[in-house]
Amino acid sequence: MDELIGTEGRLPFKRWVSLSFQHLFSMLGGLVVAPLIIGINPSATMFCSGAGTLFYLFITKKKMPIFLCTSFAYTAPLLIVREKYGVEGMMFGVLTAGLMYVLLSLLVRLCGTGWIRRLMPPVVTASVMIVIGLSSALTAVGWAGYNASSGAAAALEPSMRLKWIAVSTITLLVGILGTTCFRGIFSVIPVMLALIAGYVASLVLGVVSPSAIAEAISGPVLALPKFCLPRANMEAAFMTAPLALVTVGEHIADVTAAGNVCRRDFIHDPGLHRSLFGDGVASVIAAFFGGAPVTTYSENIGIMALTKVCSVSVVFLAACIAIVISFFAPVNAVITGIPTPVLGGISILLFGIIAITGIRIYMDAHIDFSSNRNAVIALCVIVLGLGGASISFHTGGLYFEMPSIAVATFTGIFLNLLLPGDRNQPKPV
C-alpha cells in the first residue's frame, strides 16, 4: 500500500504538475458545465475558482487541500435568477450567498454546528436537494432534443433534431459508463470524458462544423475573461440566500470526508468556521468578477483518496493553473462552443445525481417515512418546489418575488420547527 503524503508533503516537479492537472480535469463539471448551464463566462468562473481557492488556502492556514468550484446545487436557482434579472442581478445573488456563508462561519465559531442540524435536519435538506435536482429536468431534456416542444429543439428541423438526440444520448451514455464502470483516474473524470465524446459526435454528425471551431480559436491567444459586477437586486438576493443553508451541509460533509482521507481533524484544526469563512470570501470574490458561487468539491477529495496525495501544494498549483488558463482565449472559445445537445446529455446526468443525492441523504439518515411528521415535511417541500409555488407582491415601488425553491426551503424549515416530534436526525433502526 502506498504511503499517504500529508498536507505539508512535497513532490517531485513532474508529479506535482501532473497531479495538479488531474485535480483540474476532475472538476471540469464545475469549471465548465455549470457556468455554461447558468449562462456565464467559463473563463471568469475558472479565474474565480482559482483565485477563490488561493484565498481559501490562506484563510485555512494552508492546512486544507480543498479546491473550491461551482456547486451544481446552485445551477437551477441561478438559471431562474439570470432569466429574470440578468447576469448583473444574478451576481448580486452570488454576493448574497457568499455573505451568508460568512455569517454562518461566525455563528459556527460562536455557537457550534448544532443549530444547523436543528434548522436543516436531513429530512429538509434531502427534500430540497430533490427539488433542486428535478426542477430543471425540463430544461435538460429540451437541450438534449428529447422534447420537440421545449427549449432550442423546438426550432429544429426533424433531421437536425435526430442528430441532437444522437449527440446527447452518446454524451449521456459515456457519462453513465464513466460514473458506474470506469476505474482509476477515469472514475473521477466522467464529465470530461462525456464532454469529449459529445464534442466528437457533434463534429461527426455535423451538429457543429470544424470551420466554426477553427474560426473561434483564430483570434488572439490571450484575452481577459468577461468579468462583470453585481447590481443590487433584493429579489435575486432572496432567491439565492436559502441555498447557503442547503449547501452548508454539503460543505461540512466534504470537509469531514477530506479530513478522513488526509487523516486529519479539519473540523477542529484549522476549524470549520475558517473553512466556511474562506468559502464565503471566495464566493464574494466571484460575485465581483462575474463568476459562480463556489463550494467544496467532492471530486477533488476523490483524487486525493485515489492518489493518496493530500499535499496543499498540489491544490495551490491547480488553482494557479486555473487562473492562467482563464486568460487563454482559444480555450474559452472551445468551451463556450460546446454544442447544446452535449450540455443536455450532461445535464440530465448531473441534475439526476443531485436528486439522487437527496434520496441518499434520506437513506443515510434512516429517515422513517412511516412517521407522519417526516412524510408531511418531505411532501410539502417536494410538491411546492416542483409545483412552482411562488410568493410575490408589490409594495410601493418595490416588487418582491420568492421563487419555488426558496418557498420550499422555508416551508421545510418552518414545518420542522413547528411540528411536534424529534427535530433532529432520527437514530438508526
3-state secondary structure (DSSP) of residue 68: strand
pLDDT at residue 248 in the model: 87
Report the chain's mean pLDDT, rounded to a whole number.
88
Residue 102, pLDDT > 50, answer yes
Q: What is the largest CA-CA distance in the chain?
A: 68
Provide the phi-psi class of 166: left if phi over 0, else alpha when psi is between -120 and 50, else beta. Answer: alpha
Residue 360 is given by DSSP the state H
- Under 8 Å between Cβ of 334 and 217: yes
Residue 238 pLDDT > 70: yes
Q: Which residue has the higher pLDDT, 275 or 31?
A: 275
Q: Predicted confidence band at 399 (pLDDT cuts at 50, 70, 90)?
A: low
* % of the chain exceeding 70 in pLDDT: 95
Confirm if 26 and 188 have CB atoms less than 8 A apart.
Answer: yes
CA distance 293 to 145: 29
pLDDT at 428: 43
Which one is predicted more confidently, 162 or 391? 162
pLDDT at 283: 96
Q: What is the per-residue pLDDT for 99?
A: 96
Per-residue DSSP letter, 296: E
CA–CA distance, 117 with 424 (Å, rounded to integer): 6
- 3-state helix, strand and coil shares in percent for the chain, rounded to the nearest 5: 70, 5, 25
Q: Tell me, what's the pLDDT at 244?
A: 86
Amino acid at 158: P
- Name, of 188-197, 226-235, 318-327, 398-407, the range with top average pLDDT: 318-327
Predicted pLDDT at 199:
93
Comparing 136-140, 149-153, 269-273, 423-427, the range with the smallest average pLDDT is 423-427
Q: How far apart are CA 150 and CA 153, in angstroms?
A: 6
> At residue 91, does pLDDT exceed 90?
yes
Q: Which residues contact 99 (CB under 8 A, 6 or more apart)?
A: 280, 284
Q: What is the pLDDT of residue 66?
A: 94
- Residue 299 per-residue DSSP state: H
Rounded-to-integer distance, Cα 56 and Cα 274, Å: 9
Mean pLDDT of all residues in 68-88: 85
Bridge partners, residue 398, by sequence: 395
- What kind and span of H or E run contains 393? strand 391-395
Averaged over 197-223, what is the pLDDT? 86
- Split at pLDDT 50, 70, 90, the class of 55 is very high
Average pLDDT over residues 55-78: 90
Q: Is the pLDDT of residue 289 over 50?
A: yes
* Stronger pLDDT, 290 or 154, i.e. the higher one: 290
**Per-residue confidence band for 1, with pLDDT thresholds at 50, 70 and 90:** very low
339-392 pLDDT, tens per residue?
999 999 998 988 888 889 889 989 989 999 999 999 999 999 999 999 988 887
Residue ranges of alpha helices (H) inside 189-308 are: 190-205, 210-216, 234-262, 272-287, 298-307
**Averaged over 62-68, what is the pLDDT?**
94
Q: How far apart are CA 108 and CA 100, in angstroms?
A: 12
pLDDT tops 70 at residue 150: no
Q: Which of 39-43, 113-117, 141-145, 198-202 has the lowest mean pLDDT?
A: 113-117
Segment 112-126 mean pLDDT: 87
Quick check: 92 and 104 in contact, CB under 8 A? no
C-alpha cell at 419: 411540528
- Model confidence at 26, pLDDT cuts 50, 70, 90, reads confident
Q: pLDDT band for position 397 (50/70/90)?
A: low
In whole angstroms, give the CA distance from residue 321 to residue 50. Answer: 8
- Is the pLDDT confidence value at 27 over 70? yes
